[in-house]
A and B are shown apart, each in its own frame.
Chain A
């Protein structure tokens, strides 16, 4: 059994990372040429890690299921990336970013990791600008910033609503430079289906070429898993259709502990579900909450009139609107953290104030911002007596400049013009804070196997503040892993090439082939999507925005039964020897069916409400989350025992030496 050794360096918080870097072992450049590293996943974390490791001199192989690393789902992140630069002079600092992140994470993140993240955040911006990432700029040529939920400073760097795209293309460009040099070999349309462990160390993977169906063996001295989150366990989420848990789940089954699976972020500003045909949900950047005000009608009769189309939201008088976030949380208002905003929307909709046909939507309204910006612009242009129409036009231009692509996206999907009528939004599954447990060096409980970015249990805690995921992905990939992995690899300089014709590779390959053969030859009657949708419904209804003991117990049974039915009755068409998206989905859904059960088990054992995990039994009189620091101030790391329900709990106690634990309040 692996042990939970967090390996947090000694010494004062602010010096830990520097001290650690000064004392870990290095690998001589000539020896790096003899060391191979596999990176699975090429998003912000994997792409930046691969580029940096290759630049250092290691031989890197990257794997992604997309046709190009540039398409990883990090590309869809909209709003921005945080960095403690204090360019705005509004009092930001490394400590404040650290403080906001630990508090925003509801005190379930590791202090030392979060401090390191804050510390390197400023380097990330310097790095990306040097790579040609076109961030938004002021007229003076300097970088512009905006503010995000859960904080009181403007520390977010952005590129319109396409920040993730620009950052990913930066990492992809860095990768391309190394591919051109021959230091990265990039395997696209490949999926990792197992890890190979030799003498307790990660020594390679089994991958499937998704075009030819070929099962391939790839060896390395270390394996880095950067395959993202598992939000698609809910079927409907803001994740890309192909986002999956398989790489993480396979290493979990081989000994990597899975931490806090129930910590899943529900993002408050998504386009609501419109019907059964829906394949995924679309996020509208949280940055919209800087200028949009969230409301529902105050009176039930207005709700009904709006639902029936008899009353237009713009015609509802100001005093008949309930700006519930501004009402409940006066100091943060519409910029409360995501978990708080999501629950508040659910509370209003559950009370019958939802504004669309399904009753699951609230308004996000830009009219105040449009008029405010319009008046400002009119004044700047010397027009001190503008008409309402002029003000509106000028204001719409400003809003278009800031959020144009998001407004266009909304209009295409919903067929309504958000400049003229408020957007409808509702929370949806977005980001997973849980993931593979890692130590301070980002190593899992399997020696030589690392997990970075969203795939690890991360620095976020029970909740994630806006613009911190991009930060973590790039911090891990550019600045943390490349140092820490060297310490491990320094022991491998005499090992030589890892052979792939060993019994360990034979066995892993055999297991993969058996699973594929069993699925292809199953001859059942139900499609893979049939199971995925059913699993998603159980997850959303019973492990979603609010959970309770009874629901979670039911979920455990239902998921198990669904999994058994899957293996009996699933039908996978086509062959294993060609491009076969049904087979690809089946392999992923098989893993989601196990992960879902561990998720419910984790949520059931955690008898507290905390960040993205809201247990109905544990709430204050005002309906706020009620944390239990005395009994649950730990990371729940699960060890696989052959069946998700048999998983064994290991606890990593969290120590807060630099931050006082407080009830999180945004009032």
Chain B
């Protein structure tokens, strides 16, 4: 396949960026999208030009590092996958593809297609954990049975990979889907109950401090989420928040 890539190039957070055109040929439909970028970068290096910087690591859809906005969609046109699992068979010969970084005030650009998502870490640090000492002196794991339905729902929320597609997809750049997935994981388990009030209040406060927008129930986050994290989590977080607020 022959393609035209229109890629966002930006030296750093303080420099203005722009779209640069790169033609690329001999792209195999079996390549992943990132392997196609590897080929482009190899060609740029051969010409002595600086390759395009993009974030990626595990390349099997689980680490959450890759973060491209492809033709206006986070992780591109395929559903339920990260950019590293997107394959070129989703495109046609002759296509023009726009490749940009995830857009949000709370995600400043580091360079080219790389953004800084450390705001997500800070939301977690505000309370996304259960305060238990790592001593090994905890009670036997089977002494608190957990309803399978709840355990599965908690697991589904916990599968969030923290990639930020929800924020990039949202017209308000809201981090509600991410934060609510983290709140839900613990809200559904008996172990998380004791500090539930503080957890949701602190995490929501941090989310607002980081400059993420509010949720207007548009639902784009759920559609673009590579892990199918459900809007149900946002409803659960709102209930948890309300409960905590009236306490």
Q: Nearest B residue to A51 by beta-carbon distance?
A: B134
Interface contact B142-A134, CB-CB below 8 Å = no
Interface contact A277-B39, CB-CB below 8 Å = yes
Interface contact B192-A132, CB-CB below 8 Å = yes
Interface contact B62-A165, CB-CB below 8 Å = yes
Fill in one digit per residue for B182-213: 1 if any A CB lies within 8 Å of its CB, else 0: 00011001011000000000000000000000
Interface contact A75-B63, CB-CB below 8 Å = yes
State whether A139 and B130 are in contact (beta carbons under 8 Å apart), knowing that A123-B136, A282-B60, A578-B11 are contacts in the complex: no
Interface contact B142-A527, CB-CB below 8 Å = no
State whether A413 and B87 are in contact (beta carbons under 8 Å apart), knowing that A71-B57, A573-B49 are contacts in the complex: yes
State whether A71 and B65 are in contact (beta carbons under 8 Å apart), knowing that A131-B130, A132-B189, A279-B59 are contacts in the complex: yes
Contacts of B133 in A (CB 8 A): 55
Fill in one digit per residue for B107-136: 1 if any A CB lies within 8 Å of its CB, else 0: 000110010111011001111111111111
Once bound together, how far apart are the Cα atoms of A571 and B41, in whole Å? 13
Interface contact B128-A173, CB-CB below 8 Å = yes
Once bound together, how far apart are the Cα atoms of A136 and B185, in whole Å? 14
State whether A141 and B146 are in contact (beta carbons under 8 Å apart), knowing that A134-B151, A277-B28 are contacts in the complex: yes
Interface contact A132-B28, CB-CB below 8 Å = no
Interface contact A132-B155, CB-CB below 8 Å = no
Does B58 sit within 8 A of A, measured CB to CB?
yes
State whether A177 and B110 are in contact (beta carbons under 8 Å apart), knowing that A409-B60, A581-B53 are contacts in the complex: no
Minimum C-beta distance from B144 to chain A (A):
8
Interface contact B151-A136, CB-CB below 8 Å = yes
State whether A129 and B141 are in contact (beta carbons under 8 Å apart), knowing that A123-B136, A409-B85, A413-B85 are contacts in the complex: yes
Fill in one digit per residue for B31-66: 1 if any A CB lies within 8 Å of its CB, else 0: 110110011001011101111010111111111110
Contacts of B154 in A (CB 8 A): 132, 134
Does A351 sit within 8 A of B, measured CB to CB?
no
Minimum C-beta distance from A149 to chain B (A):
20
Once bound together, how far apart are the Cα atoms of A173 and B182, in whole Å? 10
Contacts of A582 in B (CB 8 A): 45, 51
**Which residue of the partner chain, among B42, B87, B155, contacts A159 with CB atoms under 8 Å?**
B155
Contacts of B155 in A (CB 8 A): 134, 136, 159-160, 166
Once bound together, how far apart are the Cα atoms of A159 and B146, in whole Å? 14
Interface contact A76-B62, CB-CB below 8 Å = yes
Contacts of B110 in A (CB 8 A): 211, 579
Range of interface residues on B (Cβ < 8 Å): 35 or more
Interface hits, B84-99 → A, CB 8 Å: 85, 87, 89
Contacts of A642 in B (CB 8 A): none
**Which residue of the partner chain, among A87, A139, A188, contacts B148 with CB atoms under 8 Å?**
A139
Does A154 sit within 8 A of B, measured CB to CB?
no
Minimum C-beta distance from B9 to chain A (A):
13
| Interface-facing stretch out of A62-70, A377-385, A440-448, A499-507 | A62-70
Once bound together, how far apart are the Cα atoms of A172 and B162, in whole Å? 13
Interface contact B132-A67, CB-CB below 8 Å = no
Minimum C-beta distance from A326 to chain B (A):
29
Once bound together, how far apart are the Cα atoms of A279 and B87, in whole Å? 13
Once bound together, how far apart are the Cα atoms of A180 and B192, in whole Å? 18
Once bound together, how far apart are the Cα atoms of A258 and B2, in whole Å? 47
Q: Nearest A residue to B139 by beta-carbon distance?
A: A126
Interface contact B142-A143, CB-CB below 8 Å = yes
Interface contact A280-B81, CB-CB below 8 Å = no
Minimum C-beta distance from B122 to chain A (A):
9
Interface contact A67-B35, CB-CB below 8 Å = no
Once bound together, how far apart are the Cα atoms of A48 and B35, in whole Å? 33
Interface of B is mostly: loop
**Which residue of the partner chain, among B85, B140, B144, B148, contacts A138 with CB atoms under 8 Å?**
B148
Minimum C-beta distance from B128 to chain A (A):
6
Once bound together, how far apart are the Cα atoms of A52 and B59, in whole Å? 30
Contacts of A66 in B (CB 8 A): 57, 63, 65
Interface contact B64-A76, CB-CB below 8 Å = no
Does A350 sit within 8 A of B, measured CB to CB?
no
Does B12 sit within 8 A of A, measured CB to CB?
yes
Does B138 sit within 8 A of A, measured CB to CB?
yes
Once bound together, how far apart are the Cα atoms of A241 and B41, in whole Å? 15
Interface contact A412-B120, CB-CB below 8 Å = no
Once bound together, how far apart are the Cα atoms of A145 and B130, in whole Å? 24
Interface contact B134-A48, CB-CB below 8 Å = yes
Does A89 sit within 8 A of B, measured CB to CB?
no
Once bound together, how far apart are the Cα atoms of A55 and B28, in whole Å? 51
Minimum C-beta distance from A210 to chain B (A):
9
Interface contact B130-A130, CB-CB below 8 Å = yes
Interface contact B131-A177, CB-CB below 8 Å = yes
Does B72 sit within 8 A of A, measured CB to CB?
no
State whether A126 and B57 are in contact (beta carbons under 8 Å apart), knowing that A277-B31, A478-B134 are contacts in the complex: no
- Pick from B34, B57, B134, B186 the residue with the most CB of A within 10 Å: B134
Interface contact B125-A176, CB-CB below 8 Å = yes
Interface contact A70-B111, CB-CB below 8 Å = no
State whether A68 and B118 are in contact (beta carbons under 8 Å apart), knowing that A76-B60, A120-B136, A138-B148 are contacts in the complex: yes
Interface hits, A210-241 → B, CB 8 Å: 211, 240-241
Q: Nearest B residue to A71 by beta-carbon distance?
A: B63
Contacts of B121 in A (CB 8 A): 68-70, 176, 186, 188
Interface contact A242-B118, CB-CB below 8 Å = no
Contacts of A76 in B (CB 8 A): 58, 60, 62-63
Interface hits, A542-556 → B, CB 8 Å: none
Interface contact A127-B134, CB-CB below 8 Å = yes
Interface contact B138-A127, CB-CB below 8 Å = yes
Contacts of A241 in B (CB 8 A): 56-59
State whether A141 and B87 are in contact (beta carbons under 8 Å apart), knowing that A51-B134, A129-B141 are contacts in the complex: no
Contacts of B46 in A (CB 8 A): 527
Once bound together, how far apart are the Cα atoms of A602 and B136, in whole Å? 38
Interface contact A571-B87, CB-CB below 8 Å = no
Please, could you name 6 A-B residue pairs with CB atoms under 8 Å apart, sorted by A?
A67-B116, A169-B158, A412-B78, A527-B42, A571-B48, A573-B51
Given contacts A67-B55, A188-B121, A413-B87, 16 further A-B contacts (CB under 8 A): A71-B63, A72-B63, A124-B136, A126-B140, A127-B132, A130-B138, A140-B145, A141-B145, A141-B151, A142-B142, A174-B129, A176-B121, A176-B125, A241-B56, A241-B58, A579-B110
**Chain B contacts to A: CB under 8 angstroms:** 11-12, 28, 30-32, 34-35, 38-39, 42, 44-46, 48-51, 53, 55-65, 78, 80-81, 85, 87, 89, 110-111, 114, 116-118, 120-121, 124-136, 138-142, 144-148, 151-152, 154-155, 158-159, 161-162, 185-186, 189, 191-192
